[in-house]
Amino acid sequence: MTAWREVEEAVPEFASRVRALFEAHRHKTMATLRADGAPRISGIEAAFVEGELTFGSMPASRKGADLARDARFALHSATVDPVEGEEAKWPGEAKIAGTAVPDGDAFRTDIVEVVHTHLDEKATVLVVEWWTPAHGLRRAERD
C-alpha cells in the first residue's frame, strides 16, 4: 500500500506542489465506478492527515456504494482558469488515483498515481508530470 507520506518522501517538491493544489480549495471532484461500470463524478472533501490522504462518504451514498463494490477512484483538485495575459502564473491542476481503503467512517487511500498538469515558465508548453510507485516521477511536454 502506498500512503501519501511515501509520495512526499520519494518526490518532496512534486508532492508539495500537488498538495498545495488540493489544499487551495475545499471541494474536489471524485470519479468512481457505477455497478454497470460507467463512471460517476461526485463532489467531495479530502484531507491530508498524518501522512495519509483521507476522505469520507455520507451513509448510504452512491459514492460509498461504488467504493464498496470497486474501490478504485480518481480524485481531481479544483480547476481554475489561467488569467489571460498571466498564463505562466497558472498553478495547474492535480489528480490522484488509487483505491479507497475503509477506515471506520472514512477512507484512507492506496495511491497508484499522482499527476500535476501545468504550463512551463513561458506558458508555451503544457507539462504533465506524474509519479507512480513502480516508475517514479516522469514528465511529458506537449505543444
Write out the residue range of the structural domain in which residue 106 sits. Answer: 4-142
Please provide residue 24's backbone torsions phi and psi, each rounded to the nearest 5 degrees. -70, -25
Residue 105 has pLDDT above 90, yes or no: no
Residue 114: band (very low, low, confident or very high) from pLDDT cuts 50, 70, 90: very high
64 in Cβ contact with 57 (< 8 Å)? yes
3-state secondary structure 13-38: HHHHHHHHHHHCCCCEEEEEECCCCC
Question: Mean pLDDT for the chain?
Answer: 96
Greatest pairwise CA separation for the chain in angstroms? 47
Residue 66 is predicted with a pLDDT of 97
CATH of the domain at 115: 2.30.110.10
Q: How many domains does the chain have?
A: 1
